Amino acid sequence: MSIEYIYVIVIALAWGGYPLVARSSGVGGPVGALVLSLAALLPILLGAFWRASPVRPSAHAVTRLLVAGFMMGIGLLAFNALANSRRWDSSVSIPIADTAMLMATVVGAMIFFAEPMTAKKLLGLALLGAGIFVLRPE
């Protein structure tokens, strides 16, 4: 098994589980997102020191990372609000948000990185859209 599959398993368990744990706290909004972000810094810092690299990002790369981090923060605020909302079941709201994010990533990669639009990707997008349609709240 390649390391990429292990990453997928870790992502599935960690990112699939943390919204459920966050929702069980009952703390949503900016305060919940702030606590989540602060807690996330510990494993990130440990990873940065564990896999220390002599390569330092350029100013251009840091600028892009700052923009991406800002976008991530906006998304985390919205995601935390959605995950803590009691208007939709968590088994509906969280998968719909995750699936919509996947769709945006596939389309964005095709647009911004000129990745090929294949029949397989289009089928995947259609199936993701069908999943959102089936799970949508009534």
- Tokens 């602060």 locate to 38
pLDDT of amino acid 48? 84
Alpha-carbon distance of 54 to 57, in angstroms, equals: 10
Q: Which domain holds residue 64?
A: 3-135
Give the residue ranges of the chain where pLDDT is below 70: 52
- Answer for the pair 68, 112: CB distance below 8 angstroms, yes or no: no
* Alpha helix ranges (H) inside 1-138: 3-25, 29-50, 59-84, 90-112, 119-135
pLDDT of amino acid 24? 94
pTM here?
Answer: 0.83
How many structural domains comprise the chain? 1
